[in-house]
Structure 1
Amino acid sequence: MLGNPASLPHALLLAGPGGVGKSRFAAAMAARLLCEQPRGSWACGECDACRWQAGGNHPDFRKVTLEVDDAEGDEASTKASSKKSGVATQIKIHQIRALEDFVFVGSHRHGNRVVIVDPADAMNGAAANSLLKILEEPPPSVYFIMVSSKWRSLLPTLRSRCRKVLFGVPETGAAVAWLKQAGIKDPEMELGLAGGAPLRALARSERGTKDSTAEIIAPLSRQPLDPLTLAAHWESQLKVNPELNLENLVDTVQKWLHDLIRVRAALAPRYLARENENLSRLAATADPARLNRCHDSLLKVRATARHPLNTLLFLEDLAARCAVALTPARH
């Protein structure tokens, strides 16, 4: 694909799960398109254009991403989230409109111009429609590279303007070897918890998430399960581990429940392979219908994890759902 840029469409959509290298590929593609002395499919890394790109100063490159909060969010919910995280939750229309002069005026270096939109699924409706108008009449030698882990949520008309390139998780052995080379102590565990996505596994390890995973799921194997005791335990973990938040905690419980459902169906765990013995013990008496109802309910619970009204009540509700899910099946 990169060896012959002339064959590229004006808009690409790099789609697939998070943590598999889509953003890195987009950056490599942009560097190749801007390089003035390319070497096959790769940028040379030595010309003026490559040095400017590496320094973030190339005049023919733009990246549209989530802005650091400037208290000008389009919606109240966006403002609330941004104040907490420092980063907006949407790509807004003014960011896309700012591309118009860049796209239609001309190239500084008389070559290609490149725009990366990452994550493209973060565009609000107005921003997506504004981008669609630009893509309807694209100037020559202007390339748009959109990156998305939720590409199905993009406007169908926007998707239709792009050539989709699907990314998948790499082969497990190769991913484990790469993580070992990166210095990860337990690559198999980290890769499993990351759903097979090596970059996500690397980020999890660097955040120190592994230890909290064991603390989150260990009490779930102790029967009978006391929801109040479990919720208090989870709350203590949130206090002692600054890298752990409610969203991460719910995500871990979801993975545990997903694997419990798989083991109940005589399948191997996907995320927590080392918990196979405990999962098998629990699955032996579990009611599949209760497990599936709990799994479905956690999808809604996770949506409120970012802004719960009361953390302890949220955790007690989560623990109670798990206790109901683990109620033995009646024979």
Structure 2
Amino acid sequence: MIVTDFHIEYGAEVAQAVQAGRPVVALESTIVSHGLPRPDNLRVAREIEQTVRATGAVPATIGMVGGRLVVGLDDAQLTHLATADDVTKLSVRDLAVAAAARADGATTVAATSAVAVAAGLKVFATGGLGGVHREAFDESNDLITLARTPIVVVCAGVKSILDVGATLERLETLGVTVVGYRTRRFPGFFITDAGFDLDWSVESPEDVAAIMAARRGQGVHHGGVLVANPLPTDEQLDPDLHDRTLADGLAKLESEGITGKAVTPFLLAHFHAATEGRSLAVNTRIILRNAELAGRIAVAAA
């Protein structure tokens, strides 16, 4: 028998919110399964959802459980993805294959964005965006997906382990709108300022909601809007510590021959170990701040 029930499922809370026209914020699950160490990953995942709820919006963590693509994982499903050992990291290209294989999977920024839009969601909070890797022709699918996907993504820039300048050039080429939140400088995830200027900035969630309304009114095809939300300077990872840790991590990448989608998890784990957990604390602050801002944007736009 050929199984054909591969539609997107909604969690009960998200289904009610979508039907009622309430604000909803999409959340990725890769940060739960691959981005944070256990047991902190599950604790932080719950804190992220609670942060969104505190703004008046509904959190919709997206992931795959047994081949079922779910928008709005319940706590048992979230716990499963946080604790199981065979959770696959899913980009857009992997979604159909993983569903057919009845796999458990965690969605990346690209996959979460695509699924969120297919499910009718307009705002997504993450930590840092993928991008162009250093000294290699390797580019995250996040970039091309955002060029095709009309969603607002709140993030702390791109991960500083990447080539930030090249990533910004690619975002410009692909037509992805980038605005700084109360800044004209592009953030670098762990650090407040990655060293690059931005053309546009906004001062409030209502400003982002106005951009969303203008795009709808113009009727011109657009991809995503990237809202770059930097950490305050007193909450960033010490820049000198960051630079030393990154240099050591890049050297280990080369010596151990690590490439492709294994690069980011490896470097994040290296940062966690080398900074004695300080990078984890910064990472947690990043995603909680972004979740709070995304919730406020969703409420303003609702």
TM-score, structure 2 normalization:
0.27
Larger Rg: 1
Name whichever structure is richer in strand by fraction: 2
Which structure's relative contact order is higher, taking Cα pairs within 8 Å and 6+ residues apart?
Answer: 2
Name whichever structure is richer in helix by fraction: 1
TM-score, structure 1 normalization:
0.25
